[in-house]
Amino acid sequence: MTDMEQNRALAQRLYAGFAAGDVPAVLSTMATDIEWTEAEGYPYAGTFIGPDAVVEAVFVKLATEWEGYQAVPDQFVAEKDTVVALGHYSGTYRATGRSFRAPFAHVWTVRDGKLSKFVQYTDTVVVQRALEA
């Protein structure tokens, strides 16, 4: 397996962990100093360093504020140390009962066999509509 195939497989393991609700599996793919950036305009916008910060600032909120929240990749593109996942988000915001579906592009950087950087691109306007009462 080439490095690019290994990098793609690493990102695929992360999404499989998400789909199974297996947070330890998700965290096992991450570098201890992962730099995780949620898009400006997204409910949890900002950059978080380290898996614990990502869990607290993003994962806990997704699990408690949303029902059926999913990030489903449809395609992976890998080149050198970069993997891009193209897919869609969906879920229902508990506070408003409103649902959404929005496309995403996730750009991952792999370093030493771990995901070391994440940058999110999505249509934040579509997501914000679900937050409005």
Q: What is the pLDDT of residues 58-111, one digit of tens each?
A: 999 999 999 999 999 999 999 999 999 999 999 999 999 999 999 999 999 999
Domain count for the chain, please give it. Answer: 1
Asked whether the beta carbons of 120 and 114 are under 8 A apart, the reply is no
The pLDDT assigned to 1 comes to 84
- Which H or E run contains 11? helix 3-20
Task: For residue 62, give the DSSP letter.
Answer: H
Residue 36 sits in a domain of what CATH number? 3.10.450.50
The pLDDT assigned to 48 comes to 98
User: Average pLDDT over the chain, rounded to whole?
Assistant: 97
Strand partners, 73: 87
The pLDDT assigned to 133 comes to 79
CA angle, corner 49, sides to 31 and 12, nearest 5? 45
Would the CA dihedral through 108, 109, 113, 115 be positive or negative?
negative
The pLDDT assigned to 69 comes to 97
In which domain, by residue range, is 52 found? 3-131
